[in-house]
Each structure stands twice: as C-alpha cells, then as structure tokens.
C-alpha cells in the first residue's frame, strides 16, 4: 500500500509470454496485487501467468484491446483497488514507474497519471518509428488545441487511475478497440480530472506489441473523431454515448462496480 491506498496493477495481455516474466520482476513487491487479463493468446501467456502467481482472467473470445481493459478495471475495482495502474506486459513501458505514478495519486496530487514517452525526448532514441512519432505529435497538437489541455502525449499505454475516477466514467460505452485509451482520456478531460505526467523511457523491439500502419491510420482517424465529439459535448451541440453523462465530482463516486458475466469471461 501507498499512504494507506491499495495499489493493483492490471495487465491487458495478448501473446505476452516472452516479456511477461521480466515485466513482473520489476513490479513485484511494489504493488498489492497483479491481475492479468488474457485476450485469447495463442502462446503460453496464461500458463506462465499462473506460474508467476498472478490473478488470471481469460476471455472466452478475443474482445480487443479496449474490451480487455474493461475487464481489467472491473476486476481491479472488485479487488478493492484504490489505485489502478494499467501496464502493458510487453515491456515496452518501464514497470518501475508503477510506484511513483501510484504515489502521485495516493497523496492526492492527481486523479490520473500518464507515463509519457515524449517528455525527456527519448521516444525516437527508444526506437519509436518516425512515422509514429510524427503522428503522435500531430494528434497531440490537435487534441491540445481543441480540448484546451497541455499534455505531452495522449497515446501512452502506461497509466494510473484513482478508484474514484474510474467509477466516474462510463467505460462500458467506450470502444473495444485501440481508441479506448483515447476515449477514456477525453472523458477525463471532459469531467475536469487532474491529469499528471511522468517521463517514461520507451522500448521498441521485436517482442514489443505494435499495431501496423493500417490500424494506426484507423486509430488516428478515431482519435480525431473522439476529440470532435468531446468538444461537441462540451458545447452542447450533441452528445455521443461516451460523453452522455453528467460530469461527476470525483469525491461523490464511491460505490463499487460488480463484474458482469461478460467481463469475467
């Protein structure tokens, strides 16, 4: 625990056998529990996760990256987590940052903390493909401009959330694909959550997961649409389901969310 807060790491996994053990080695002893949700991997991710002593949930069908995270957060909240750290088990992001990120929430500084690959300027040195770097910077500029935020990036896969924040958001309305992360962050901005960032070294190597150009393009277009939808909701022009909820003061949301059959399958 950190400042009396229970910290749970969730690992949305898909074919993470080669990097899972290294990831867990760096986060063990720092957090109270680790929950791995496997999205129908074809390798031995589940077998290894059990050997490592993780709590494991296996989807009966592949639900996608967003669907995986929905199960992750529901499981962590049911576990009694006060702080949830979402960490990719492919070792692209540093597991060692879980503790400082959780601490920033445990001591009431932020509601959400992002591990930014852009802060510190190490993204390209870490092997981020140039086209992804350019797309990251362009999308981030567009989002900051329209949403009025000043984040260094919106597209990191290393994040920490307070329990109250997760309970304030209609996560089930979000996409089950890669844009889930961006929708969640737009929702955080929409309700005025306190967002912090920490510099995170990035590692691109063969075992690290990465979406291809086609899916990157689809993701980028989805990000643009999410941003416009958020602005429209703010202005009262229209409200898509992911923004069709009243901004809730974080301290007012204390109830737990039970796992549905779909979430634990």
Mean pLDDT of the 17-29 span: 93
| Contact indicator for 45, 20 with CB cutoff of 8 Å | yes
Instruction: Indicate the length of the chain as a whole number.
Output: 265
Residue 35 resides in a domain = yes
Mean pLDDT of the 32-36 span: 97
Q: What is the largest CA-CA distance in the chain?
A: 52
Q: Residue 65's domain is classified under what CATH number?
A: 3.90.550.10
Confidence grade of residue 207 (pLDDT, cut at 50, 70, 90): low
Q: Please give the tally of structural domains in the chain.
A: 1
Packing angle of the helix pair 180-190, 64-78 (nearest 10 deg): 60
Residue 255 resides in a domain = no
Residue 61 resides in a domain = yes
Decide if pLDDT at 126 tops 90: no
Residue 2 resides in a domain = no
Residue 108 resides in a domain = yes
Mean pLDDT of the 169-189 span: 96
Angle at CA of residue 179, ends 176 and 26, nearest 5°: 90
Residue 124 resides in a domain = yes
Q: Which residue range is the domain that position 199 belongs to?
A: 7-240
Residue 253 resides in a domain = no
pLDDT at 127: 86
Residue 258 resides in a domain = no
Query: Higher-confidence residue: 22 or 214?
Result: 22
Q: How far is CA 68 from CA 39, 165, 241, in A?
A: 6, 19, 20
């Amino acid at each position: 625990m950190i400042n009396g807060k229970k910290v749970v790491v969730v690992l949305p996994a898909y074919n993470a056998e080669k990097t899972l053990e290294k990831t867990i080695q760096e986060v063990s002893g720092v957090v109270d529990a680790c929950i791995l949700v496997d999205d129908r991997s074809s390798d031995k991710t589940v077998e290894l996760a059990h050997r490592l002593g993780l709590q494991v949930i296996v989807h009966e069908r592949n639900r996608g990256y967003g669907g995986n995270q929905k199960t992750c957060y529901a499981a962590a909240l049911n576990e009694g987590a006060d702080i949830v750290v979402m960490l990719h088990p492919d070792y692209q992001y540093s597991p060692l940052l879980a503790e400082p990120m959780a601490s920033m929430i445990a001591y009431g500084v932020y509601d959400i903390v992002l591990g930014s690959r852009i802060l510190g300027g190490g993204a390209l040195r870490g092997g981020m493909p140039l086209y992804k770097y350019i797309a990251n910077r362009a999308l981030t500029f567009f989002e900051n401009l329209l949403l009025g935020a000043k984040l260094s990036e919106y597209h990191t896969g290393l994040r920490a959330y307070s329990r109250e924040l997760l309970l304030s958001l209609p996560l089930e309305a979000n996409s089950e694909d890669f844009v889930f992360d961006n929708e969640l962050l737009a929702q955080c901005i929409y309700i005025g959550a306190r967002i912090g960032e920490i510099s995170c070294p990035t590692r691109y190597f063969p075992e690290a997961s990465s979406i291809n150009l086609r899916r990157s393009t689809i993701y980028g277009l989805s990000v643009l649409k999410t941003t416009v939808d958020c602005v429209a909701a703010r202005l009262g022009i229209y409200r898509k389901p992911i923004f069709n909820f009243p901004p809730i003061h974080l301290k007012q949301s204390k109830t737990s969310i039970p796992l549905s059959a779909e979430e634990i399958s």
